[in-house]
Copies of this chain bind each other. A is one copy, B any other.
Amino acid sequence: MTRAAERKPLRVGDLAKAVGKTVRAIHLYEELGLLAPVTRTTGGYRLYTEDAVARVNWIGKLQEMGFSLTEIQGFLRDWEGAGSGPEAMQRVRAVFQERLDETRRTMARLAALEKDLQASLDYLDSCAGCEPTHHKAECKCCDYHGHDPARAPELVAGLAGSRSERKPDVPLAHLTEGIR
C-alpha cells in the first residue's frame, strides 16, 4: 500500500463497485463484524481504505469455497483466539484442506454437468433440420438422424412427464392394490 493510495478514502459505493458487491452486502458484512470502515465523516458516511477491497474479496473467496457468513465469523474468531503462530496455522490448514476436497467434488459435479449439456446440445442440433410437422413429444425420443431411440440425454428426456403429456387412460389402480 502506497501513501498515495491511503490518501484516497473510498465511500461505500466505491468499495461496492470495486469488489462487485452491493452496498447492502457491505452493510451486512459490517453488521456481522467481518468488515469495518476505518472512520466516518461527520455526516455518517463510511470511509474505507484499499485494505477493505482485499478484505471483501477475501470474504468472497471463502463464500465461493462454500462458507456461510456465520462460518466466516467463526473462522475469524478461531484465528483471533488461537495461541501460538504455528498452532493457528495448523487449524487454518485443516479447514482449507477440507474445503479443497469439497471444491474438487463440486468441480467434478460441474464437469459431469458440462458433459450432459454438451451431449444435449449435440442431440438438439440434429433436431434443427427436422420437419416442423413433428410434435415436440416425438423429439424427446426419436429414431431419426441416427438417434438412439431409447437414449435422449437426461436433460432432454427430463422434459417428459409434464402434466400436459400424461396419458390419463393408463390405469393406476395397481399402485394402491393391497393398501388400505
A interface residues (Cβ-Cβ under 8 A, vs B): 6-7, 9, 33, 36, 38-39, 41-43, 47, 49, 51, 54-55, 57-59, 61-62, 64-65, 76, 79-80, 82, 84-90, 92-93, 96-97, 99-100, 103-104, 106-107, 109-111, 113-114, 116-118, 120-121, 124-125, 127-139, 154-159, 161-165, 172, 174-176, 179-180
28 contacts between A and B (CB under 8 A): A36-B163, A41-B179, A49-B175, A54-B154, A57-B158, A58-B157, A58-B158, A61-B116, A61-B154, A62-B155, A79-B162, A84-B133, A85-B127, A85-B134, A86-B129, A86-B130, A89-B139, A90-B124, A92-B159, A93-B121, A93-B125, A96-B155, A97-B121, A103-B114, A104-B114, A106-B110, A107-B114, A110-B110
B159/A79 in contact, CB under 8 A = yes
B158/A127 in contact, CB under 8 A = no
Q: How many subunits of this chain does the assembly comprise?
A: 2
Q: Complex formed: what's the CA distance from A59 to B154 in Å?
A: 11
A134/B175 in contact, CB under 8 A = no
Q: Complex formed: what's the CA distance from A165 to B81 in Å?
A: 12
When distances are taken between beta carbons in the complex, the residues of chain B under 8 Å from A93 are: 121, 124-125, 127-128
Enumerate the 9 nearest inter-chain pairs by beta-carbon distance, A residue then B residue, closest first. Answer: A58-B158, A85-B134, A89-B127, A84-B132, A88-B136, A93-B124, A85-B139, A85-B136, A100-B117
Asked if A175 meets B39 with Cβ closer than 8 Å, knowing A113-B65, A164-B80, the reply is yes
